[in-house]
Structure 1
Amino acid sequence: MGHLSNFLLPLVLALAPGSNARACQPSARTFEAENAILTGTRVESTLSGYTGSGYVAGFDEGSDKITFNIPSSITKLHDLSIRYAGIYGEKRTTIVLNGGDNTEVFFPATETFSTVSAGQLLLKEGNNTVDIVNNWGWYLIDSITIKPSEPRAPHNINPSLNNPNAGVEATTLYKYLVSIYGKKILSGQQDLSWANWINTQIGKTPALVAVDLMDYSPSRVERGTVGNSVEDAITHHNNGGIISVLWHWNAPTGLYDTEERRWWSGFYTDATDFDIAATLANPSGANYTLIIRDIDAIAVQLKRLQSAGVPVLWRPLHEAEGGWFWWGAKGPEAAKQLWDLLYDRLTEYHGLNNLIWVWNSIEPEWYPGDSTVDILSADVYAQGNGPISVQYNQLVELGGDKKLIAAAEVGAAPLPDLLQAYEAHWLWFAVWGDTFINNAQWNSLEVLREVYDHDYVLTLDEIQGWRNTV
């Protein structure tokens, strides 16, 4: 079970049939921020609407935080909520449990105090510390509330793909993914070269490899790029692996190509003046023609995968809600319209029936809808190898627990013991490449061995029968 086994044993016993642990647990408990230990922060009372005797402000330096001491009679999973004020705009904070596991929590902008769900905490028996650490900063914290978590209800996953013409490869893969969901997690890695690096380091190969169609973007090809990720995908597929594909879509035109933002960074919002909202509003315009040109160029590569019998976990327009990529720069409506165009062009026009469509944002206003999304996912870069349960629970809510959910990009591989304890049933994780998978601050070799040796984690050698799923 790994190095957390002794810690998690009390949790297993507490959840065993016949246990009276639930009856022993207290109900919701609230802890006022002004009574916490303050580090670089201060108590204020200027903004009305707070509870207790004040609230905590001063989150402006990286080390600024407040620390709550929380006793627990048993080892038990708890829901956490935070009462805050985001009067300086939307922000993010970092929650650190007992000096180890950390979770990033999003604070929407508010005019006064409001409450946000902040995921779950696996409190150990005895005293626990919960830190709220600066992160984006400039917010106000009034209090936190914890209450024992209810067991997760059974999932109700859609049994089939949205595309009625989906090919046998895609439908077989989807059936396999449904069969393991909540029972196992697929190990994954961005780029075949780094998957091979993992094998060299620890003797195990990820079940899933993610590749990027970036260098097939026409505005890169015309400047000399030559993609090789399709070949990498076919290689991993031929070895019995599963393939995920994203596309850092270089803007079709309008690249600044300055010293600060060269042409090869043209997928970033600040590297191009390409306006997707204006483009989609003018289907007869030249820029719309270029959008279609780009989609058709990528269709050529996806057809190569289809011809090779490769089902694809297809994740375009990733991280749209962040706004740092041009496809999300003009807000949710333009991004959803572009998603629909992609879906129609690739599925209906090009007849690509090997695609399993993976949406990659959490906020409800960005969601293009159940009818064109097969799997929900999030990209989460938080150190500590935690279960990233906040984002998982948000995606469960977004999809009504009818969609499979994946950690499509992570900086730190999640520890399997924590995934099980938190009931964060991610379908797969894929660690990003250079500076993350090979960085001990994010993923030590000890942690990678623990992850890859765990019986909850599927590696390449353990999924060889997936094509026989019926």
Structure 2
Amino acid sequence: MARLLDIVLRATLALAVGANARACQVNNGSKTYEAEDAVLTGTNVDTAQSGFTGTGYVTGFDEGTDKITFTINSDTTKLYDLVIRAGAIYGDKRTSVILNGGASSEVYFPSSTAFADIPAGQVLLNAGANKLDIVSNWGWYLIDSITVTPSAARAAHNINTALVNPSANSITKTLYTYLRSIYGKKILSGQQELSYANWIATQTGKTPAIVAVDLIDYSPSRVERGTVGTSVEEAITHHTRGGMVSVLWHWNAPTGLYDTEENKWWSGFYTRATDFDVSAALSSTTNANYTLLVRDIDAIAVQLKRLQAEGVPVLWRPLHEAEGGWFWWGAKGPEPAKKLYALLYDRLTNYHGLNNLIWVWNSVLPEWYPGDDAVDIVSADVYAQGNGPMSTQYNQLIELGKDKKMIAAAEVGAAPLPDLLEAYQAHWLWFAVWGDSFINNQDWNSLETLKKVYTSDYVLTLDEIQGWQS
């Protein structure tokens, strides 16, 4: 927006948006609000970084409570696209966006040397004045402005009709067909761990449609230290009662576990707990660590074959959260992670003949995407309080999968409220709340909220999906 136009509009719009924020409106209905005019809490205005608009930008996000509060007016209750102009000059960052004191939405700021316009999902503005907070979260970034633009209606989804594995067995194809039939119309309820799924049934009278289990204790570097996995039995139990199964794998590094007081052997899936180098291991097929990767994949294939033998189709989510770098499979960047995913796909599909897997990729960033030919469903793990619609990540995944891949909230801290999902047109296929300290934590999921979620017509529970197998 030209500086001259900004000056002309400032006086006219000040009363409309409140004394604390200057808004510039353009022909498409967009309004831009300069950060330096918002209410600042623990933050300050600066001009040292070039490229800002207006008279400066806001910095000083070094405490968890530091924030900016914008006042945004809307003529009617309406959905808007939100863009944050930010500078992540100190590396990759994340911020929290909170509208009118409600749900928190996490927005990723990729590392940059200059200000950039970053899509931040959507906000449902009430008629009249609205308060929008940008709260520190990871902190140490710069905020120049925000822009809100009336959201266009979503186009019809164009989901792929077939699975990426042409040899997928009949029950797996049936599950995929069922998922396509409900996508955009309903959301499947889900819970990590069978015990917590049963706990939800006790609390709400409804059982989750999906139970997610973890193959962590089948990792060879854990088995050799005495772990005994039970998640396959839990998955079969839920399948037998007509449910669906999601499977992830906290892959304990094949070797190189520090096993110190700070980083015990059982935390060996964390980058901080091992010196295992995935890039070096994948550099050739003859080095010892590559052999160990294959050994571990083969061990997990044994468990997945048990599920295949029982007729259990699996929503299979390997190498989750790779882009975070906190797990060793993502510690060396996107290329080794994608190479490892390709090895997993080839070994499990073509060598082991596992035809009961629906392949779920778990990252929103394009540079990490393994490719359309090895991914059936795209997903994100979202830990934001307030039971919001997670529209930022949903919109990113629409772009990533070109709206040809269904989208799942494969792991969340807070169960999303159905009315917000519908209002934001956030058509998540399923959600699965993490277990201990999240599903049973009032700060993340109150019993009142869980009852509201599990009794909603928009949310499918175990009793409502019976017969999907036929």
Whether TM-score is above 0.5 comes out as: yes
1:48 to partner: Cα distance: 2.0
Q: Which residue of 2 aligns with 1:318?
A: 320
Separation in 1, partners of 2:65, 2:292 = 46
Q: 1:29 aligns with which of 31, 38, 48?
A: 31
Give 3-state SS (helix, strand or coil) of 1:466's partner: coil
Separation in 1, partners of 2:123, 2:385 = 16
Q: 1:351 aligns with which of 353, 372, 388?
A: 353
Q: Which residue of 2 aligns with 1:7?
A: none
Give 3-state SS (helix, strand or coil) of 1:383's partner: coil
Q: Which residue of 2 aligns with 1:333?
A: 335
Separation in 1, partners of 2:241, 2:158 = 32
Q: Which residue of 2 aligns with 1:194?
A: 196
| CA distances 1:342-371 after superposition (whole Å, capped 9, x unpaired) | 001100000000000000011111100000
Alignment of 1:53-452 (within 5 A): 53-452=55-454
TM-score (norm 2): 0.94
1:26 to partner: Cα distance: 7.2
1:55 to partner: Cα distance: 1.1
User: Across the two proteins, how many residue pairs are aligned to each other?
Assistant: 444
Separation in 2, partners of 1:327, 1:311 = 25
TM-score (norm 1): 0.94
| CA distances 1:372-415 after superposition (whole Å, capped 9, x unpaired) | 00000000000000000100010010010000110000000000
Separation in 2, partners of 1:189, 1:45 = 47
Give 3-state SS (helix, strand or coil) of 1:60's partner: coil
1:467 to partner: Cα distance: 1.1
Cα RMSD of the aligned pairs, angstroms, is 0.9
Q: Percent identity?
A: 73
1:43 to partner: Cα distance: 1.2
Separation in 1, partners of 2:34, 2:323 = 32
Q: Which residue of 1 aligns with 2:23?
A: none
Separation in 2, partners of 1:339, 1:408 = 18
> Residue type of the partner of 1:189?
Q
Separation in 1, partners of 2:28, 2:455 = 37
Which deviates more from structure 2 when the two are superposed, residues 54-63 or residues 385-394? 54-63
Separation in 1, partners of 2:278, 2:58 = 41
Q: 2:466 aligns with which of 464, 467, 470?
A: 464
Give unpaired runs (5+ residues) of structure 2.
Answer: 1-26
Separation in 2, partners of 1:90, 1:66 = 20
Separation in 1, partners of 2:332, 2:57 = 35
> Residue type of the partner of 1:452?
Y
Separation in 2, partners of 1:371, 1:363 = 17
| CA distances 1:270-323 after superposition (whole Å, capped 9, x unpaired) | 111111111111211111111111111110100000000000000010001111
Give 3-state SS (helix, strand or coil) of 1:341's partner: helix
| CA distances 1:157-209 after superposition (whole Å, capped 9, x unpaired) | 00010111100011000000000000000000000000001011111100000
Give 3-state SS (helix, strand or coil) of 1:436's partner: helix
Give unpaired runs (5+ residues) of structure 1.
Answer: 1-24
> Residue type of the partner of 2:85?
R
Separation in 2, partners of 1:230, 1:138 = 43
